[in-house]
Amino acid sequence: MKVNLLLPDGCAASESIPAFARDALKKDLELETILNAVARKDDFILQALTEAIFSPLPTPELISYRHEALHDAIDHAEEVRAIYDLCLSTDRRRLGTMGTLNWMNNYDLNTTFNGALESLNVLTEALRRLRKMAEAYEERFQSRGFRALFRMLREELTDEYLEEVKRQVAELRYPDSFLVSVRLGNHLQGVDYVLLKKSKKQTLELAVAPSYRLGEEDEPAKDISARQARAVNGVTNALAQSAMYLFDFFDRLRSELAFYIGCLILIEGMESKSMPMCFPTVLKGESEQREWEGLYDISLVVTKRASVTGNDLRAGHKRIYLVTGANQGGKSTFLRSLGQAQLMAQCGMPVGAKKFTAPLRRTVYSHFKREEDRWMRSGKLDEELVRMRKITDYIRPGDLLLLNESFSSTSEREGSEMLRQVTQALADSGVEVFSVSHLHTYASAFRGREEVQFLRAQRRSDGERTFKIVPGEPLETAYGEDLYKEVFG
Amino acid sequence: MFYSVLFPSEESAARPRRKTMPEAFTDLQLDVVMKRGLQDYQELGLEDIYYTPVTDPEVIQYRQEVLRELEDPAVREALSQIVERFGSLREFMDGLRQKMAGAMKLSDSSRRNYFYKIPIPGVTSSKTRNWMDMARVLERLGEFTETLADFAGSVERLRFRSAGLRGFAEHVLRFCKSERFLEMDAEARRLRAAFGGIRYCLWFKSDNSAVKVLPFEEQEDYAAGVEALFSRFRQGETRDFRKHLEEEPVSEKLENEILQLLSRRYPREFGDLEAFSEKYLDFDDDAILRFAREARFYLGWLEMTEKLKEEGLHFCYPALEEKPKETFARDCFDLALALRQNRGVVTNSFSLAPPEQILIVTGPNQGGKSTFARSFGQVHYLASLGLTVPGTAAVLPFCDGVLTHFEREEKLKDLNGKLRDDLMRLKKLMDAATPQSVFVVNEIFASTTAWDAQVLCGHMLEAMIQKGGNAVLVTFLEELADFGPQTVSMAAEAPEQEGGSASYRILRKKPGGLSYAMRLAERHALGYEDVKRRVGG
């Protein structure tokens, strides 16, 4: 039984973003701040959103599939939460632990057998309740995902089926004797024990069969319990696997619902700070059109617990976005907001903006300047180069790279030249690059180029920074002096 | 008369062998080679073969011939069953024979016990036999005869050339033609087929009181029903909850009692088994079992080297000579390193033409010097075992051992203590050396002043020249490079361009002259062309 709330049957997300790039993105884009705030302590939400964000969808169609279901979730939040709560009651960590024993990982077969049986009882009851909910909700929902789910539950979990499950579970109890079929092993030891159902005929035969009465020398206690274990091994496996199937089913359902619950929490959270969220327009990967209005850094709202400034832009046919300008002028914040929006848009989440239009980018990579690491063994520039090398080993045409003050740990000239070569090579290979840099030589090298969009941290004529990022070519002077003045008065 | 596949005669096999690992093994990382490449050498008791270099030309030739012949996959295929199945057969059968002899006595006493019990006819059997041990004789014997018969069948086709394999094959053929062999082979096949077809039902109570045996009649399987019921929820991989349960019984006695019950249903089969196991208890043959164990020496080696050959590395059969006109090895490499990293192993060559005797290797850190020194030692040592050596061609002297001195990491010693230590170790090394010993010395006296080190190394080189064996010395003292006519200077090759990475190539040349100013971006391949090529598009 498939859930299919996140993807239609038979569809798959793109290959997920490589682990090293995920780790960097989490840090660089402050994704962890956002995800932890949304998930609170619910691991399922945390995992569902994390997994989604790092597994971009390959087509705009699949994104609308999620948008549709998200609209349903927004309109029927109460129902969606009710199903989610039912899933909570089937948590395997709770049901997997009967008393103090963890039956799923227990060495003792008896424990596994009884634990599985008990879990199956509870799970079967949950199935019955789930079926009831499906019957009640089906008509109210509009999206393909939710409607298909409800129909499947109604059709598969009929009363007859649920009765049969109950009967079978009840019938299985440890018997006081065992009948197994046996084959002879390589030195005539009995092997391949298979537990059999006793028939009437057998009961008769048993009465007259030759028998042996056990004595002390036979180590009866140990030997017979070993034989018992072999006899019930197969049926215990069948029970435990069945319980696992059901756990897995509820887990899948819960994980997929968790994505939508997570989105709901995020939207509510932003609304409470008067920050809008929108359903983005996602274009095909071939497009080079980008447009945003009021694009803001969600993590900043989370940490400041207040509303923040947003940015606007409308651009077309650009490959390289070069952001220059004053220190602490909002450049990194802007880059983060763009990265967040891109990743969230690509997985069907709403984004932090009034409006956001962007093409699909297969994978997003980030290369941000890192604070000095006390334990760092290699030099700082060397560390940056190693990271860049790794990114360029993985990155492919159609991907997006976010650069933040890369190679600024060496001299202006050297850093500029290295960064220029990398940026140019990537853009020429079909990678889209957003680069925040104060390396003047670097930025100037791209002046007058069609495929480059220059952006600049805005500064009013009186020298005051607005934290807005606006179109504009790099200026000759850096703004370190401003900062100096601000700090030293 | 065939005796061993490692030694041409019983006499040469009887010479004493070393039982403990030579100290050089760790420094040359031959311990790693043995562990990674030849996992089961210890289990088979072949350590002493690896620990004992051979200087007898006849033995070396005998082994090289066998090894060369075993390179043919068809030959190995023909021998594989013998090797896999007979490796530990002797220990097993000896144990079984002992146990069966002991069981005779035991059954006497237990028979006496029955007088004190009231026998209930049809319920308690009074003369249970050890059916399982009898079956073990049948099992091993059947394997033995089938394996040998298979091999005998392929001997004609293979036409062995090496003295070692030819001797073995002739021995097996004689053995397989004997009347006893043919008889026990046929009987074993018949019995195994008979028992293989038996399936019965066992009934037992959970209160440990009794067991019963009854016929099997296709009763319904419990687990299958449960599986079918929940199959609709099944998705993807499932976890297997079946415990891995030992199928050997806890109590062999009880298992034998169950078989005793079963024997009433199959009296003829069980009777035949009893007669068979008595008649053929001593079926195994010394020379064949010894071969099975010893052949692993070659097979383990071939398995390991062939994997490396697939990576493009070469191995060759060295020519061993008393006093070679020129000692050399071409394109050799550090075997331990190759096993670790597989790809991109750098090869190096060296040669020593008398009076040359000692290689002096200098160069920067991380340039591949120690690796080179190790491979020098490995080549000499492996050749002395009659094995192939890394490289495309090699002529080497007979060598009775490799003596090594590598820098040890002992942090707690003060410098003087360390120097004393170095000298003590060196003294021990020199005392142990013979004219056929090979030296590998890596960064000795590194803890003392350059001047002291130079004087001390000088003494050491003099001593080595006195002894007469080949040697390699890795040192930071470039002054030693032109020590005398007996020494040859080798140094790490300069990178092709300034800032390029080390090539790990060690060449016959004067030391020094390398520039190591690094161009970082180049080193990380982050130039425009490099990036564009990698990303594609």
Q: Residue B369 has what pLDDT?
A: 86
Q: How far apart are CA B443 and CA B426, in angstroms?
A: 12
Q: Residue B510 has what pLDDT?
A: 77
Of residues A289, A268, A300, A243, the one with CA closest to residue A126? A243
Q: Which residue ranges of chain A lie beneath pLDDT 50?
A: 100, 373-378, 478-483, 489
Q: Is B331 left (phi over 0), alpha (psi -120 to 50) or beta?
A: left
Is B534 near chain A, with CB under 8 Å?
yes
Beta bridge partners of B393: B330
- Position with higher pLDDT, B405 vs A102: B405
Q: How far apart are CA A189 and CA B251, in angstroms?
A: 11
DSSP string, A130-179: HHHHHHHHGGG--SHHHHHHHHHHHHHS-HHHHHHHHHHHHH----SEEE
Residue A22: inside a domain: no
Which chain A residue has its CA at the smallest distance from B205's CA? A177
Q: How far apart are CA A194 and CA B528, in angstroms?
A: 67
If asked whether residues A353 and A424 sit together in one domain, one would say yes
Per residue in B130-174, pLDDT tens? 899 999 999 999 889 989 999 998 888 888 999 999 999 999 999
User: How many percent of chain B have pLDDT more than 90?
Assistant: 47
Query: Closest Cα of chain B to A8: distance in Å?
Result: 16
Residue A154: inside a domain: yes
If asked whether residues A315 and A445 sit together in one domain, one would say yes
Q: What number of H helices and E strands is found in chain A?
A: 17, 15
Per residue in B449-463, pLDDT tens? 556 777 888 889 999
Residue A210: inside a domain: no
Is B205 near chain A, with CB under 8 Å?
yes
Which chain A residue has its CA at the smallest distance from B523's CA? A385
Residues on chain B touching A227 (C-beta within 8 angstroms)? 202, 204, 249
Residue A24: inside a domain: no
- Closest in B123, B230, B247 to A211, CB measured: B123
If asked whether residues A265 and A293 sit together in one domain, one would say no
Contact A443, A322 (CB under 8 A): yes
Query: Closest Cα of chain B to A351: distance in Å?
Result: 30
Residue A207: inside a domain: no
Q: How far apart are CA A411 and CA A74, in angstroms?
A: 52
Establish whether the linkage from the previous residue to B355 is cis, with ω within 30° of 0: yes
Is it the case that residue B356 has pLDDT exceeding 90? yes
Per residue in B53-108, pLDDT tens? 999 999 999 999 999 999 999 999 999 889 888 877 888 888 888 887 765 554 44
If asked whether residues A369 and A312 sit together in one domain, one would say yes
Q: Residue A375 has what pLDDT?
A: 43
Helix (H) or strand (E) holding B533, with range, is helix B528-535
CB contact under 8 A, A421 and B528: yes
Q: In B178-235, which residue ranges form alpha helices assigned H by DSSP?
A: 179-196, 222-230
Contact A38, A267 (CB under 8 A): no
If asked whether residues A384 and A303 sit together in one domain, one would say yes
If asked whether residues A343 and A409 sit together in one domain, one would say yes
| Residue A419's CATH number | 3.40.50.300
Which chain B residue has its CA at the smallest distance from A103's CA? B241
Of residues A361, A280, A348, A350, the one with CA closest to residue A63? A348
Residue A11: inside a domain: no
Of residues B422, B430, B426, B428, the one with CA closest to residue B447? B422
Global pTM reads: 0.58
Tokens of A208: 């007259």
- Closest in A156, A181, A246 to B199, CB measured: A181
Is A152 near chain B, with CB under 8 Å?
no
Tokens of B445: 């006296």
- Closest in A176, A211, A240 to B211, CB measured: A211
If asked whether residues A251 and A356 sit together in one domain, one would say no
Is B227 near chain A, with CB under 8 Å?
yes
Q: Residue B52 has what pLDDT?
A: 95
Q: How far apart are CA A26 and CA A17, in angstroms?
A: 12
Query: Closest Cα of chain A to B518: distance in Å?
Result: 11
Q: Residues B124, B129, B133, B135: is their CA dihedral positive or negative?
A: negative
Q: How far apart are CA A167 and CA B229, in angstroms?
A: 11
Q: Return the exposure string of B460-477: e unless at least 16 CB atoms fall within 10 Å of the residue's CB, then b.
A: bbeebbebbbbbbbbbbb
CB contact under 8 A, A425 and B245: no
Q: How far apart are CA A474 and CA A457, in angstroms?
A: 10
Contact A150, A134 (CB under 8 A): yes
CB contact under 8 A, A245 and B234: yes
Mutate to test the interface with B, among A174, A212, A245, A414 (most CBs of B within 10 A): A212
Mutate to test the interface with A, among B191, B226, B259, B519 (most CBs of A within 10 A): B226
- Closest in B123, B233, B528 to A213, CB measured: B123
Lowest mean pLDDT among A84-93, B253-262, B495-504: B495-504
Q: How far apart are CA B202 and CA A195, in angstroms?
A: 10
Confidence of residue B110 (pLDDT cuts 50, 70, 90): very low
Query: What is the Cα Rg of chain A in Å?
Result: 31
Q: Residue B117 has what pLDDT?
A: 35
DSSP, collapsed to helix, strand or coil, labels residue B75 as helix
Domains of chain B: 10-17+52-218+249-293 (no CATH), 311-535 (3.40.50.300)
Residues on chain B touching A188 (C-beta within 8 angstroms)? 131-132, 135, 195, 255, 259
If one counts the domains in chain A, the total is: 2
Residues on chain B touching A224 (C-beta within 8 angstroms)? 204-206, 208
If asked whether residues A298 and A374 sit together in one domain, one would say yes
Tokens of B328: 């050399």
Read off φ and ψ for residue B212, nearest 5 degrees: -135, 155
Q: How far apart are CA B238 and CA B242, in angstroms?
A: 12
Q: How far apart are CA B537 and CA B523, in angstroms?
A: 23
Find which of A347-361, B189-203, B505-519 is predicted with most confidence, using mean pLDDT. A347-361
CB contact under 8 A, B222 and A235: yes
Q: In B222-266, which residue ranges form alpha helices assigned H by DSSP?
A: 222-230, 252-265
Q: Whole-number mean pLDDT of chain B?
A: 84
Tokens of A257: 């619902």
Q: How far apart are CA A396 and CA A391, in angstroms?
A: 10
Q: How far apart are CA A73 and CA A59, in angstroms?
A: 22
Query: Closest Cα of chain A to B212: distance in Å?
Result: 4
Q: How many CB atoms lie within 10 A of CB A38?
A: 22
CB contact under 8 A, B242 and A233: yes
- Residue B526, classified by CB atoms within 10 Å of its CB into exposed (0-12), middle (13-18) or buried (19+), is buried
Beta bridge partners of A211: B212
Q: Residue B496 has what pLDDT?
A: 53
Per residue in B215-254, pLDDT tens? 888 777 888 888 888 888 887 777 888 888 888 898 888 9
If asked whether residues A288 and A434 sit together in one domain, one would say yes
Residues on chain A touching B214 (C-beta within 8 angstroms)? 202, 205-206, 209
CB contact under 8 A, B534 and A109: no
Is it the case that residue B489 has pLDDT exceeding 70? yes
CB contact under 8 A, A202 and B214: yes
Residue A342: inside a domain: yes
Mutate to test the interface with A, among B114, B191, B230 (most CBs of A within 10 A): B230
Q: Residue B269 has what pLDDT?
A: 93
- Closest in A214, A222, A227 to B210, CB measured: A214
Q: How far apart are CA B386 and CA B292, in angstroms?
A: 19
If asked whether residues A264 and A341 sit together in one domain, one would say no
Residue A217 is classified by DSSP as G
- Closest in A177, A245, A421 to B203, CB measured: A177
CB contact under 8 A, B214 and A205: yes
Q: How far apart are CA B213 and CA A182, in angstroms?
A: 10
Helix (H) or strand (E) holding B296, with range, is helix B286-310
If asked whether residues A392 and A333 sit together in one domain, one would say yes
> In angstroms, how far is CA B111 from the centroid of its own chain?
48
Q: Residue B479 has what pLDDT?
A: 79
Q: Residue B111 has what pLDDT?
A: 39
Residues 424-463 of A with CB under 8 A from B: 424-426, 428-431
Confidence of residue B198 (pLDDT cuts 50, 70, 90): very high
- Residue B167, classified by CB atoms within 10 Å of its CB into exposed (0-12), middle (13-18) or buried (19+), is buried
Per residue in B362-394, pLDDT tens? 876 566 888 999 999 999 999 999 999 999 999
Helix (H) or strand (E) holding B326, with range, is none
Residues 123-162 of B with CB under 8 A from A: 123-125, 131-133, 135-136, 138-139
Residues on chain B touching A182 (C-beta within 8 angstroms)? 199-202, 216
Residue A189: inside a domain: no
Which chain A residue has its CA at the smallest distance from B212's CA? A211
Is B106 near chain A, with CB under 8 Å?
no
CB contact under 8 A, B210 and A181: no
Is A130 near chain B, with CB under 8 Å?
no
Residues 6+ apart with CB under 8 A from A194: A180, A181, A234, B221, B223
Q: Residue A336 has what pLDDT?
A: 96
Residues on chain B touching A201 (C-beta within 8 angstroms)? 217
- Residue A467, classified by CB atoms within 10 Å of its CB into exposed (0-12), middle (13-18) or buried (19+), is middle
Contact A255, A4 (CB under 8 A): no
- In terms of residue numbers, what domain contains A161? 60-173+242-271
If asked whether residues A353 and A467 sit together in one domain, one would say yes
C-alpha torsion A428→A429→A435→A437, nearest 10: -60
